[in-house]
Amino acid sequence: MNTKILQKITQGMYVLTTDNGGCVVDAVSQVSGSDNPLIAVSVMKKNYTNEILKNNTKFCLSVLGMDVNPEIIKTFGFNSMRDLDKFQNIETNNVDGLKVIKDSLGYMECEIVDSIDNDTHTLFIGRLINSVLYQDSDAMSYQYYQEHKDDLLKIKTNNNQTAWICTLCGYVYYGEEVPNDFKCPICGAGKEVFRKK
């Protein structure tokens, strides 16, 4: 199985926010348009964002542009709100009680109308109730992120430590060797997908 083909599915880079939480997502798709615009987002069950979405009625998706500050991806994609207040150092705008990312191309505000659970993820389906374009420029694609994540995230191998990058999501493990039973805390991938930096 070559999972690299999955990166050929055209996806973007977003920060999904709901009341007092949020995370980076790429698994977003427009389900329908025109009279009944529906947007689906798939959120891992282990994420804190999943837990709080279940108790909320709305979410926002901030669309990340090509020149987004990578700190936003690091903060929202590699940390959990369980351990860090992600909103502390990232500038946001307030939208009907939800926070959206200021350094984005704009946002979509959705009302949750349905959700579907599987073993690992919940697919939240939202009806678009408000959308704002801050900047009409190119969005960052997930493929671009995958191809440039080393540079974007500026992975350094300091303190004589070896850095191993998860080729699926960009998480970095520091240590001489990745343990055989290691699972990426972000995407769950095994040792075999880690590449030495």
Ligand X SMILES: Cc1cc2nc3c(=O)[nH]c(=O)nc-3n(C[C@H](O)[C@H](O)[C@H](O)COP(=O)(O)O)c2cc1C
Which residues are near ligand X by CB under 6 A? 21, 23-27, 42-44, 47-49, 73, 77-82, 145, 169-170, 186
Q: Which helix (H) or strand (E) holds 63?
A: strand 58-63
- In this structure, what are the phi and psi dihedrals at residue 150, rounded to the nearest 5 degrees? -60, -45
Closest contact distance (angstroms) between CB of 33 and ligand X is: 21
**Residue 38 forms beta bridges with which residues?**
32, 127
Q: For the CB of residue 83, give the shortest distance to ligand X in the complex, in Å.
A: 8
Cβ atoms of 142 and 12 closer than 8 Å: yes
Q: How far is the CB of 11 from ligand X (least distance, A)?
A: 8
CB of 12 closer than 8 Å to CB of 29: no
Task: Please report how close the Cβ of residue 120 comes to ligand X at its closest, in angstroms.
Answer: 9
The 3-state DSSP class for residue 5 equals helix
Task: Write down the H helix ranges in the chain.
Answer: 48-53, 70-77, 142-152
In the bound state with ligand X, the residue whose beta carbon lies nearer, of 78 and 134, is 78
Nearer to ligand X, 44 or 155 (CB): 44
Question: Of 82 and 154, which CB lies nearer to ligand X in the complex structure?
Answer: 82
CA distance linking residue 75 with residue 84, whole number of Å: 9
* 122 Ramachandran zone, left/alpha/beta (phi>0; psi -120 to 50): beta
Q: Nearest-CB residue to ligand X?
A: 77
- In the complex, least distance from residue 76 CB atom to ligand X, rounded to whole angstroms: 6
Closest CA to 59 of 114, 8, 4: 114
Nearer to ligand X, 48 or 194 (CB): 48
Residue closer to ligand X (CB basis): 85 or 177: 85
